[in-house]
Structures are given as C-alpha cells and as structure tokens.
Amino acid sequence: MATLTAFSFPALNSTQSWSLNLGTISSFPSTFFKPSKRNQIFTFRCSTAKESTISPSMLDAHNSSVYSVDCVVVGAGISGLCIAQALSTKHGEIAGKVLITEARDRVGGNITTVERDGFLWEEGPNSFQPSDPMLTMAVDSGLKDDLVLGDPNAPRFVLWGGKLRPVPGKPNDLPFFDLMSFPGKLRAGFGAIGIRPPPPGHEESVEEFVRRNLGDEVFERLIEPFCSGVYAGDPAKLSMKAAFGKVWKLEQTGGSIIGGTFKALQERNKNPKPPRDPRLPKPKGQTVGSFRKGLTMLPDAISRRLGSQVKLSWKLSGIKKLDSGGYSLTYETPEGLVSVQAKSVVMTVPSHVASHLLHPLSSAAADALSKFYYPPVAAVSISYPKEAIRKEHLIDGELKGFGQLHPRSQGVETLGTIYSSSLFPNRAPPGRVLLLNYIGGATNTGILSKTESNLVEAVDRDLRKMLIDPNAKDPLVLGVRVWPQAIPQFLVGHLDLLEAAKTALCDGGFQGLFLGGNYVSGVALGRCVEGAYESAAEVSNFLSAYLYK
C-alpha cells in the first residue's frame, strides 16, 4: 500500500520530468495456514464474489470434487484480481481456466473505502497515477465512466520552516518557488548534469543517491518527505535501485540524470510505442485518479466480472508439486477441504505469508521471503468545517490542492495529509473539509502502542501548527485504521533477496510457481496493476511451453 499516492512527484515517475523538476499497505494476509480438521475432499457449494455454484468447466472429469485449472492465483487483493483479469483479457486462449482464492470474505486486500453521513473516505491507498495499464484495467472492468481525476494544476505542499510551501509543478516554477534556496537549486542543477561525485562501489540508499546527485536540500526538503509519504519508509535504508529504479537507471545509462534522460528520449524516439488504445481517456498533466465511489469500485468490478472464478473464505493449508507436473493445493473452506490441481500458481499474498506457505517446498525461498520488512501505518480520516482552515491557505475561499508532506525534521509526527474533499468530488458534505492523514511508518513504529484517540490527537495537534486555526473546535473523527504490517520496504538488498527467492524456487524444480504482489512489482497501486500485466505475461509464456511438454 502506498500511502500518499497523490504525492508521486513527476520526477520519480517520468524520465522527462526528473530533469525538469529536480525532485519535483500491503494487504493483510490473504491466506493463513490452519490445520485441517478433516481428511477427505468433499463436493460443496462455496462463497464467491458473484455466485456460489462451482464452475463445471474447472472440475476434474474423473473426480468431481477436485478442481483442475490452468492457473491458481492465491490472494484476491488488487494484484491477484488484476493478474486474473489480465490473464482473461490478454491471454484467454492460453489460460482459459483461472481460479482466484482468498482467505477473507471479501476482495480488495487493503483497499478500503467507507461511505457514511455524506462522507466518502479511503482507509488504505487513496489514489493512483492514471498510467495506460491502470486505465486499461479500469476500462476493461467497465469503470470508464466512473473515473475521476484530480486537477493537475492543484498545488502540492511541503512543510518547511513552519510554513506550507508549494512544490514546483512545471519548469517555469523552478526559479520562483521558495522551498529551496538559490544555492540549493544551483547545486541540484549542477548535479543533474553530472558535476557531482561519481557513484560508489556499493548499492546506494535513496539518501546517498540524492545527496550525491542533487544535494542536501533536494533530499531534505523534497525526497525525504516523499519517501515518507509513499513508502512510510526511511530513505537512509531504502534502496534507490529497488524503490526508484527508473531514476537510478538514468545515471547508469547516461552518466548523469540529465544525460540518462536525453538517452531515454532518444531511445523512445527510435522505438516509438504502439498506437494507444483509443478506448482510454487522456489525462491532462500530472495528476492522480480514483473512482466515483472510491477505489473499492475497481476490485469489486473485477470480482463481478470474474464471477465464480473468485473463491472467498478459502484458506490455503498446503501446496505440493505433482510428479506429473503442476501443483496440488489444499484449501480449508466453510464446507470442508477442497483440492485444486493447477498447471501454474501465482502467490500474491504478503511475503511473510508466502514464506510460511512455501517453506515445505523450499526453505531457501521461504528464508529469503521472511526477511522483507513491513512497518505499521495508521490512516486517520477527520473533518473540519471550512471555517477552521487558516485563511492564508484558502484560494477563492476554498482549500485547494492535493495535500501536504511533512519532513521528519520539522517537528511533526504526521507523515502527511491528503485534501480528500478538494482532490475528488463528493467526498464531504457542503461546508466540510475531509482530510486523510497518515502516521507511523518505519521511523515511528510506536503507533502500535497508541489508542485511536492518541492518534487523532497527534494528527490534530500537527495540523493546528500549519493548516488549521489553533482555536478551531475538535475535528469530527470518521475513521482510524491501523495497519500493523502496511507497506513492504524496498531496502538496500531488496532485489537480491527477491532474486534469491525466485532462484531457489527455480533450482528446486518449481517452475510455474510465481511470486507476485506489491513487494515484487512496487508499492503504488498503479505499479501493482502494471506488475499484474507483467505477471500474466509470465504465466502465459510458461503455459505456452507447458502445452508442448
């Protein structure tokens, strides 16, 4: 789960934007081991997202109580659902029989939208970047008319020196924004063109990379709060290569960030992308998106489309490799044990859950997967009357913007705040402002020992330092959701651990068993969707070879 998705600075998501702007929760376990109380397999009706009847085409012809499918996707969070949909829409001729299993009684993982008393708020991820894969998934799910996009011209703010300062949104903002000093801007410019220390001989953290390339001010005033907002992480420990690989690659390929940008543009011109899908809307500028009734519309729509392929309240208790090829998975369900035989399996559960399930197959893979770290994050949704907003933060009498980020050095505990009622329509009643605040993360794990009222008090206290009138009445508390294991940290060595897990599975003869989810693809919702298409292609390639064995 990426927290403050609205703060995905263009610089960290686009090679073009980086040179111009200079810096401008995983789901809870979807499956748990639970010892079986029965020792036979029964034919039954099970809970699904759309209907409860067993799909006849998936039942083994010789044993009506055993499913036989091309692929089992374990976990019906956004990654699992999108992998299944991508297999259906892009690779249906190869992977015609797909089953998606989920231990809980609902789909969507940590995507949690709540609607009550005229408010609509998110308690997990809050938005997504409208990339073409993300838009394709939305359109294929029947949600094109439900898409809502934020105003690309709305400002983003960073707290510095007791003041909320706008982040430059376009090139002509660079000379005038006051978040950085003139020497800081000069240092960033020289570093971007390559006048800076050379790369060291080790994997750099985000802090090391940014300080070396762009200077201390870019790191402290832009990138450090950005890392807190997206990863809830510690940039001194996050890997630049793993967490922000596109930017890291610029220096590797071009000798500097600017050099790499020009080289990437040249490559793009030499190898233009295929024509864009005409069904997709065209977002204007750098913005973020959601849906009319919140993010939960996407997993719900995919689940409805997949129908009886989605199996809820199915807890995976064991998996083994078959001598004849493929895998046998045993599930505990409300009606008893069920066996599924699959040619391929995609594990999209959190890494620590995958570690437990895969340990009987490969202790080496399980050991690598157990080492990924997920810190806690709390989402605190509160509302104030519009009159509580300090007048200097109103534009035409309204609070406008994406929200604000808070560097750890600025004496506030809250990681950042999304202006939910300003970002998307119909999020709050007239006259009210809805604010989604994130608190906790890798540098503040103590939130687990705090009560909900403690967390609200901390957020309210922070907001009164820069956004809310200190004399305003107490906020209306809508929801406090604490995620004990929220976001996988892409720490230094992350890619090596992931590769070790994949290699161990391959060396152990477990071809066709794939790892997916946000610790593989990236934590932002959009990256989960992009990764889903990549995983689906891997599965399809494997199944194509499988047919000729």
* Residue 166 belongs to a domain: no
Q: Which stretches within 141-256 are classed as H helix?
A: 182-192, 206-214, 216-218, 224-230, 240-243, 245-254
Interval 152-164 mean pLDDT: 95
Contact at 8 Å (CB) between 485 and 350? yes
What CATH number is given to the structural domain containing 240?
1.10.3110.10
Task: Provide the CA 69 distance to its chain's centre, in angstroms.
Answer: 28
Interval 478-498 mean pLDDT: 97
Question: What's the CA gap between 437 and 209, in Å, rounded?
Answer: 28
Per DSSP, 239 falls in state: B
pLDDT digits (tens, 9 = 90+) for 254-308: 999 999 999 999 999 999 889 999 999 999 888 999 999 999 999 999 999 999 9
For residues 323 and 353, state if they share a domain: yes
- Residue 153 CB partners (closer than 8 Å, separation 6+): 169, 285
Token digits of residue 118? 């005229």
Task: Quote the pLDDT of residue 53.
Answer: 36
349 pLDDT higher than 50: yes
Task: Quote the pLDDT of residue 50.
Answer: 35
Token digits of residue 174? 């660079």
Interval 507-523 mean pLDDT: 97
- Tell how many helices (H) and how many strands (E) occur in the chain: 18, 20
For residues 346 and 426, state if they share a domain: no
Task: Quote the pLDDT of residue 92.
Answer: 94
CB atoms within 10 A of CB 509: 10
Strand, coil or helix: 99: strand
Question: Residue 168: which pLDDT band, with cuts at 50, 70 and 90?
Answer: confident
26 pLDDT higher than 60: no
Task: Quote the pLDDT of residue 56.
Answer: 52
Range with the largest mean pLDDT of 14-23, 41-50, 172-181, 487-496:
487-496
- Identify the residue with better confidence: 15 or 173: 173
58 pLDDT higher than 80: no
Token digits of residue 280? 């997709």
* Residue 211 belongs to a domain: yes
Contact at 8 Å (CB) between 437 and 416? yes
Per DSSP, 59 falls in state: B
Angle at 368 between CA 365 and CA 369, to 5 degrees: 85
Question: What's the CA gap between 248 and 500, in Å, rounded?
Answer: 22
Question: What's the CA gap between 211 and 188, in Å, rounded?
Answer: 9
Question: What's the CA gap between 383 and 393, in Å, rounded?
Answer: 16
Token digits of residue 404? 């604000």
Closest CA to 404 of 189, 160, 173, 205: 160
Question: What's the CA gap between 337 and 86, in Å, rounded?
Answer: 29
For residues 143 and 71, state if they share a domain: no
Interval 332-352 mean pLDDT: 95
- Residue 46 CB partners (closer than 8 Å, separation 6+): 52, 54, 311, 312, 313, 314, 333, 334, 335, 338
For residues 368 and 379, state if they share a domain: no
Token digits of residue 370? 């157990």
For residues 367 and 503, state if they share a domain: yes
Closest CA to 199 of 242, 244, 240, 246: 240
Task: Quote the pLDDT of residue 172.
Answer: 74
Taking each helix axis as running N to C, give the angle between helix 525-546 and helix 132-140, from 0 to 180 degrees, rounded to the nearest 10.
70
- In sequence order, the β-bridge partners of residue 122 are 113
* Residue 356 belongs to a domain: yes
* Residue 60 belongs to a domain: no
Question: Residue 3: which pLDDT band, with cuts at 50, 70 and 90?
Answer: low
The residue to which tokens 């534009």 are assigned: 395
Question: What's the CA gap between 313 and 296, in Å, rounded?
Answer: 19
Per this entry, what is the length of the chain? 549
Domain that holds residue 436: 113-154+374-483
The residue to which tokens 């998705």 are assigned: 5
Task: Quote the pLDDT of residue 177.
Answer: 87
- In sequence order, the β-bridge partners of residue 321 are 327
49 pLDDT higher than 90: no
For residues 427 and 365, state if they share a domain: no
For residues 367 and 499, state if they share a domain: yes
For residues 210 and 305, state if they share a domain: no
Instruction: Sort strands 98-102 and 66-74 into parallel, antiparallel or unpaired.
Output: parallel
* Residue 290 belongs to a domain: no
For residues 539 and 398, state if they share a domain: no
Strand, coil or helix: 423: helix
At which of 483, 503, 526 does a domain end? Answer: 483
Model confidence pTM above 0.75? yes
pLDDT, averaged across the chain: 89
Question: What's the CA gap between 241 and 14, in Å, rounded?
Answer: 15
The residue to which tokens 């906790």 are assigned: 440
Question: What's the CA gap between 33 and 499, in Å, rounded?
Answer: 25
Question: Residue 313: which pLDDT band, with cuts at 50, 70 and 90?
Answer: very high
Token digits of residue 60? 């083994």
Question: What's the CA gap between 245 and 251, in Å, rounded?
Answer: 10
117 pLDDT higher than 80: yes
Task: Quote the pLDDT of residue 303.
Answer: 98
What torsion, rounded to 10 degrees, do the Cα atoms 415, 421, 422, 426 define? 150
311 pLDDT higher than 60: yes
Question: Residue 19: which pLDDT band, with cuts at 50, 70 and 90?
Answer: very low
* Residue 401 belongs to a domain: yes
For residues 390 and 323, state if they share a domain: no
For residues 470 and 500, state if they share a domain: no
Q: Percent of the chain, pLDDT > 70? A: 87
For residues 378 and 478, state if they share a domain: yes
Interval 120-139 mean pLDDT: 97
Cα torsion 535, 141, 350, 323: sign: negative
52 pLDDT higher than 50: no
Q: How many domains does the chain have?
A: 3
For the stretch 249-288, what's the b/e string if a residue is b when 16 or more beta carbons lie within 10 angstroms of its beta carbon?
ebbeebebbbbbbeebeeeeeeeeeeeeeeebeebeebbb
Q: Which stretches within 271-385 are classed as H helix?
A: 297-306, 351-358, 363-369
Interval 309-334 mean pLDDT: 95
At which of 483, 504, 524 does a domain end? Answer: 483
Interval 218-235 mean pLDDT: 93
Query: Which amino acid is located at 198 in the chain?
Result: P
At which of 483, 501, 536 does a domain end? Answer: 483
Task: Quote the pLDDT of residue 46.
Answer: 32
* Residue 426 belongs to a domain: yes
Interval 91-114 mean pLDDT: 96
Question: Residue 431: which pLDDT band, with cuts at 50, 70 and 90?
Answer: very high
Question: Cβ-count burial of 302 within 10 angstroms (0-12 exposed, 13-18 middle, 19+ buried)?
Answer: buried
What CATH number is given to the structural domain containing 315?
3.50.50.60
What CATH number is given to the structural domain containing 407?
3.90.660.20
Strand, coil or helix: 478: strand
The mean-pLDDT minimum among 119-128, 171-180, 412-421, 444-453 falls in 171-180
* Residue 76 belongs to a domain: yes
